[in-house]
Amino acid sequence: MHKICGLFVLGGLAGCSMGPDYHEMAPATPNHWQAKPAANLKQANLGDLKIWWKNFGDTQLDHLMDKALAGNLDIKIALARVDQARAERRGARAELFPTVAAKAGAQRNENPFPGLAPGIKYNMFELGFDALWEVDLFGRLQRRLEAASAELDAAGEQYRQALVTLTSDLARSYIEYRSLQNQLRITRSNLESQQRTLALTEKLFNEGVNARHDVVRARAQAETTASQLPTLEANLVATLRQLEVLVGQKPGSLATTLKTPGTVPAAPGREVLTSPAETLRHRPDLRAAERQLAAATAMQGAAVAELFPKISLSAFLGLRNTDIESLFKSAAFSYGTVGNLVQPLLNFGRIQAGIDLANAKQKEAYLAYEKAVLEALQETETALTRYLQEEIRRQALARAVADQQESVRLSQLRYQEGVISFLDVLDAQRTLYVAEIDLARSQAATATNLIAVYKALGGGADAAH
């Protein structure tokens, strides 16, 4: 609704803002998550989410997180954008107040009354202060200030979202790094075992006990396992480089710190959930989208205000004289005030186009907010489901590895007793290796999926506070 008002009250101007007034959005949310939480998952509070990585109990992760919060360049960029938005708001606020400038000038003028004294020319020297004030009767400047304030709020929320992204990316990369170290350990251990088996097989073949086919199969299995090492080592280095970028340091800076292999940290995830409504209120990306909608709504009013007159007051206070030598005498003191009213008449649709543009941007901001709400719910549901299901898979793989280790032990005994062939031993070893690698990857995936849950809930948004 467009408001039009303008009153002179006790000699002062009282105005009002044009366009719609913004009301904070309150999106409809489900009462509970569709994913069925496990019995050990309890309601978390915002304090639990602030430094959620502490739940992993890994001092190296804590150390890296401290370095990242202090040195990450994305965080510094986000802070610079907050400073930009703060400066823009100061500029918008300053437009509400008069501007004062020092003025000094000299003019050569014709006689303003040529009929009385034709051909007379004179000089005019002046020194003083000019003041100009646009009276914001229809709220154009006030709406711009509201928009700038909302953009500043949005920049602050985008900074908090950068913290959410940083903490989750760093924890995920650290989990991946430890997982790759674990996979390398498993692969090298299995390779050593397979090489010992190959050596034994070659010895028995030379003694005429085994067939050459057993030697070929044992060598092929060992070479296949060895071929996994270069890929794992390359991925390990790539992950290390990513960690160094996240903490804001040059390549090689963390090589010594993380050289010693460590276990994949696991968090119990007991207190991780918040309600859907609380999640949406806490997520900084949604709050940023809501603030951008508020800014776009304010700019609608600023666009509408362009239809109405612009009223300005100007004043001069200083010295004026036709003789520069007499400029500083008391008789040269001068002052004056001028009021101007400018009403747009013929602009060929420019103002209406501006209104249409502001309306379209407001609609885009509204739809972007609605989309962000749906994506937030979808992200949380997906992360929670993946975490719960991967935890079930991890437990099953842990049991499978224990059984497969026993199977390898028994197969070796039975082979020595001549009950089974050597191929059965190789199959048991290969199956154990696959199961151990799957378990290592599942352990990392479980932790990574839990990190995704923390991220979806807005965890880490207040980490720097």
| Residues 84-124: tens digit of each pLDDT | 999 999 999 998 888 888 877 777 777 665 555 555 676 77
C-alpha–C-alpha distance, residues 386 and 448, integer Å: 10
Structure tokens at 461: 């948004």
Predicted local confidence at residue 5, as pLDDT: 42
- Give the mean pLDDT of 259-271: 81
Q: How far is CA 409 from CA 19, 202, 414, 423, in A?
A: 79, 21, 9, 14
pLDDT digits (tens, 9 = 90+) for 442-454: 999 999 999 999 9
C-alpha–C-alpha distance, residues 185 and 173, integer Å: 18
Q: What is the CATH number of domain 19-96+138-308+350-456?
A: 1.20.1600.10
Q: Is the pLDDT reported for residue 23 higher than 50? A: yes
| Residue carrying structure tokens 């151990």 | 436
Domains of the chain, residue spans: 19-96+138-308+350-456, 98-135+322-342
Predicted local confidence at residue 60, as pLDDT: 95
C-alpha–C-alpha distance, residues 36 and 381, integer Å: 10
Predicted local confidence at residue 334, as pLDDT: 74
Q: Is the pLDDT reported for residue 25 higher than 50? A: yes
- Global confidence as pTM: 0.84
| Residue carrying structure tokens 């804001």 | 248
